[in-house]
Structures are given as structure tokens and as C-alpha cells.
A and B are shown apart, each in its own frame.
Chain A
Amino acid sequence: MVNLIWVFMAAGGIVFAMFNGTMAEVNEELFQTADDAVMLSISLMSVLVFWLGLMRIAEKAGLLEILARFFRPLIRRLFPDIPDDHPAMGYILSNISANLFGLGNAATPMGIKAMEEMKKLQPDSDEASRSMITFLAINTSSVTLIPTTVIAIRMKYESIAPTEIVATTIVATLISTFGAIMVDRFFYSLRERRIK
């Protein structure tokens, strides 16, 4: 699926450029973006090193375990195939909390780490597990309490009430996250039925 989308965008874009007369733009954008992608990965390095370092201390100090224990009843329902005391739980919760408070740069490292821990549950498979898909669904629907970037843009354009969209964002985010979990459950049950 991802191969198809990838080829559709790249090949489709090139074919389109033939007829649209935008080949020069494509050429320029192509290598500029390749450059940007490397810069983005490198700039991710700083937050990755920082947060993974700090979270390692938190893990060893037992803080992640406390966090996981506190939310266990809820999180166990969402991720039934992760064992109770598995470190993945702590990282999933850290990722969700970081998202909640709009700490985007902390959320990504913890999300990757959570994925890595979930991968350890099935070391020989390169297929996304049930929990991974659920985790991804929750992340793409972005549970946020404080949309910091948007508030900053609204301030820049001199909004009378830059934060008035906080409430609508929270409601919309709750609906989409709930929807994401439902859709995820639906596809999971389809998969299960196919196996039987």
C-alpha cells in the first residue's frame, strides 16, 4: 500500500509535470527537499538524544512504571496484547501525555521508543502488530489539549482571542481519537474473521 502511494506521488508527479510544463520546478524542489529531509532528521537528533537520555533515567528510577500503573485499567483495554509490566506501556503513556500538552518534540522520541518496545514483543516479524496499529491511530488523530503552534500563529495575526479555539480543538480531537479507536477495532475484527 505504501509502495503504491509512494510511486503514485513521485511517478504521477513526473508524468503530470511533462504536460504541465513544471519540470524545472520539479527538478529544483526534488533536491531542495532531499536536503531539507536530511536537515530535518539531523534536527530531530537533538530532541531524540535529549528525551531518550532523560527518559532512560525516568525508566530506571521507576517513574514510567508508576505512570503505567496509574493508567493501567484504561490502557490495558486499548492494548490488550501488551503484558502489564512491559516497558512499552510506560512509553506509550509518556507519548500520549507529551501530545496532550503539546510537547511535540518530546512526543516523537517517546513514540518511536514505544514502537521499539512493541517490536520487542515480536522480534522476528516485520509486520505491524495490533497494538502498533492502535498506537498509530491514536497518534495520527493527535490527542491535544494545547495546540501551541496554532495559538502562536493566531497571536501573530493579532487575534482578539488566540486561545478561543482550544475548546473546539479538544472536542474535535476527542471525536477523532474516539473515531480512530473505533475504526481500528473494526479493522481488527475484520482481520480476525479472515483468519478464522
Chain B
Amino acid sequence: MQWLTTVSTWMIPLIILLVLVVGTVKQVPTYETFVEGGKEGIKMAVSLIPFLLGMMVAIAIFRASGAMEAVVGLFSPLLQLVGVPSDIVPLALVRPISGTAALGMTTEIIGTHGPDSFLGRLASTMQGSTDTTLYIITVYFGAVGIKRMGDALKVGLIADFIGIIASIIVVSIVFG
């Protein structure tokens, strides 16, 4: 399994090398082009602030007030009915909303039940196989000024649900 770590450490430097070598061969003014492209990043990061701040503050209020816990408690029986283990329910519900909260929960589940327990493996798989829909929508649409999102949120949330169910089924079959 060592090779996996090696692959991820080598990947980025190798990509940089490839881009720079090909750029030089193709006679691109590399440094100037880099600076020109990078300038865009500053504008983007600054324009993201209100979108991220607004969304994160709302989530923080929701969580700090205890409302998130209450909603999770409300939906728990429903998800348990579909076969979601009760310890995993909070993670399943929070995963699409808050990346940091979900990562915290995953760490906690792995810490309490052990990384090689069924729950530890399930939480790991769940954490790895879906992403924070609300964050992605906020950042991607916010950065380019899309106001009417159409079906994006619906599609994203349904996809998350599919991912959660898929994780449970796959982990049950492989490690069950």
C-alpha cells in the first residue's frame, strides 16, 4: 500500500514539471503566463467571500442552536427504516451540508468504534465517496454569478442519497 502514498506525493510535482517542460518547448512565455493566470485567482477568492460567509454562518447558527441535532433526530427513524445503522445517521444527514462537520463526525466514529470496525469502514467509505453538495454549489455558482440554479440542488442531494445507500450496500457486502 506504500505505492499509493508515493503516487500522491509524486503526482503534483510531476504535473508541474510536465506543464513547464511542454510550455517551454511550445515557446509559451511561462512565467508571464503564470502571473497573468494567477491574477485571476485573487479576484475569484475575494468574490467568493460573501458566498461562503453567508452559507457558513447560516449552517453555524443551525448547528450551534441545536436545531441540526433535532432535525437529525427527527429523520433518524426514517433512515433507520431504510437500513441505515443508527450511529451513521447523523453523518449521512450532515455530509451534503457541512464538510467540516462531516469530517469531524467521521473522525469521531473511527475514533470510538475503531477504523477496522464495520462502522469505521462504513464512515470512511461514505466520507470518501460523496462530497459536500452545498459547498460545491455555493463556490462554483457563486464564483461565476449564477443566481438561478435550476435543478442543481435537487440533483446534487439525490445523488448524495444514492451515494450513502451505495456505501452501505457495498460495505455490507464486502466487509459484512
The one of B23, B64, B128, B155 that contacts A133, using a Cβ cutoff of 8 Å: B155
* CB closest chain-A residue, reference B38: A53
CB contacts (< 8 Å) of B175 on chain A: these are 168
Q: Tell me which of B4, B45, B96 contacts A45 (CB under 8 A).
A: B45
- Do A103 and B12 have beta carbons less than 8 Å apart? yes
Q: How far is the CA of A127 from the CA of B151 in the complex (A)?
A: 10
If A41-B46, A57-B30 touch, whether A128 touches B115 (CB-CB below 8 Å) is no
Categorize the interface residue count of chain B. 35 or more
Q: Flag if B42 contacts A49 (CB, 8 Å).
A: yes
Return the chain B residue nearest A136 by Cβ: B152
A-B contact count (CB 8 A): 357
Q: Is the CB of A13 within 8 A of B67?
A: yes
A106 at the interface (CB under 8 A from B): yes
Q: Do A48 and B49 contact each other (CB < 8 Å), given the known contacts A111-B140, A175-B163, A184-B155?
A: no
CB-based contact B128/A144 at 8 Å = yes
Q: Which of B124, B133, B149 contacts A169 (CB 8 A)?
A: B124
User: In the complex the two chains form, is B30's CB within 8 Å of A128's CB?
Assistant: no
* Residues in A whose Cβ lies below 8 Å from that of B12: 103, 106
Chain A 36-78 interface mask (CB, 8 Å, partner B; 1/0): 1110111011011111111111101111000000000000000
- Which B residues lie within 8 Å of A184 (CB)? 151, 155
Q: Which residues of B contact A44 (CB under 8 A)?
A: 45, 48
**A172-B19 CB under 8 A given contacts A30-B57, A106-B12, A157-B110:** no
Does B65 contact A60, Cβ atoms closer than 8 Å?
A: no
Do A57 and B37 touch across chains, with their CB atoms under 8 A apart? Answer: yes
- What residue of chain B has the Cβ atom nearest to residue A21's Cβ? B66
Expressed in whole angstroms, the minimum distance between the Cβ of A147 and any Cβ of chain B is 3
Contact of A128 among B143, B148, B159 (CB under 8 A): B148
Q: Are B66 and A17 in contact (CB under 8 A)?
A: yes
CA distance A51 to B37 in the complex (A): 9
Task: Let me know if B110 and A52 touch, CB within 8 A.
Answer: no
Which residues 142-163 of A have a CB within 8 angstroms of B? Answer: 142, 144, 146-151, 153-154, 157-163
A149 touches B103 (CB 8 A): yes
Contacts of B121 in A (CB 8 A): 164-165, 168
Are A136 and B156 CB-contacts (below 8 A) given A49-B42, A149-B127, A175-B170?
yes
Chain A residue with the shortest CB-CB distance to B12: A103
B150 near A127 with CB under 8 A, answer yes
A85 at interface, CB cutoff 8 A: no
Q: CA of A53 to CA of B23 in the docked complex: distance in angstroms? A: 12
The one of A9, A51, A112 in contact with B61, judged by C-beta atoms closer than 8 angstroms, is: A9
Q: Which residues of A contact B60 (CB under 8 A)?
A: 29-30, 32-33
The answer on a CB contact under 8 Å between A139 and B38 is no
CB pair A26–B65 under 8 Å, yes or no, is: yes
Cβ-defined partner of A48 (8 Å) among B45, B54, B148, B150: B45
Given A54-B19, A175-B163, A60-B62 contact (CB < 8 Å): no
What are 25 A-B residue pairs whose CB atoms fall within 8 Å in the complex?
A: A5-B134, A5-B153, A6-B55, A9-B58, A10-B58, A13-B58, A13-B67, A30-B64, A42-B45, A45-B41, A49-B41, A49-B42, A50-B38, A53-B36, A115-B146, A119-B145, A132-B152, A136-B152, A140-B160, A142-B131, A157-B115, A172-B128, A183-B159, A187-B151, A191-B150
| Pairs of residues from A and B, 4 with the lowest C-beta to C-beta distance, nearest first | A56-B37, A147-B128, A176-B163, A48-B41
